[in-house]
Amino acid sequence: MWRHCAWLGLAMGLLLGAPPAALAHPHGWVDMSVEGIFDEQGRLTALRQRWRMDPFYSQVVMEEMATVKDGTSMAQRLDALGVEIRNNLATQHNLTNITLDGQPVAQGEVTDTDTDYRDDRLVYEFVLPLSTPQRLAGHTLSYRIFDPTYYIEMVHEANEDGSQPLPDALKLDHPPAGCTTRIVKATPDPQKVMEAAMLDKGESGEPNLGRFFAETGEIACPG
């Protein structure tokens, strides 16, 4: 069934395999962008996220869905796929780790999901609310978004060589004056890089291997 395809497996390391020549982890990637949403009281309420699956997996998913003969439109299939993505990612905390000054921040339930196919990429968008809105005056909120298995690499939208994040990779919606953003590249230990490089597509590394390769987004506001 088309519903059990690559995007569904994302929360669990993907269900589809990589091309035979690809042996080392990761086997695919997601280009992501994040927007911090503030309310009228100047509190951060949610992180709006957009994930763009790499072209290979996007093509595989779309080709699989195109074979379905159940009378539904492609738009309806994408909507249904988005629901299953949301449900599966919920069991993995939406692959998102959020902290405030190093302390964990609880998440609410995902809202405003949208799944689309644009520019040869499968795109999944959603809003991830914070369980409790956070005042960031004098504080720094950090997040990391990653596949724990490192089967999929998740990186912020960047220029062609990946050296610099794009301006819209992390932005803010109606923030208090003076708030700033920063994206910190991962600096994994060479031993972790070697460990990932030695993993075949059917193998798993240590639990949460992906955290060593995760970029960190930061939102800070003056006190």
Cβ atoms 7, 81 nearer than 8 A: yes
User: What's the pLDDT at 201?
Assistant: 58
Token pair of 162, please?
């990946």
| Residue-wise pLDDT tens digits, 125-157 | 999 999 999 999 999 999 999 999 898 899 999
- What pLDDT score does 8 carry? 45
Q: Residue ranges of the domains in the chain?
A: 6-12+23-220
pLDDT tens digits for 193-202?
888 888 765 6
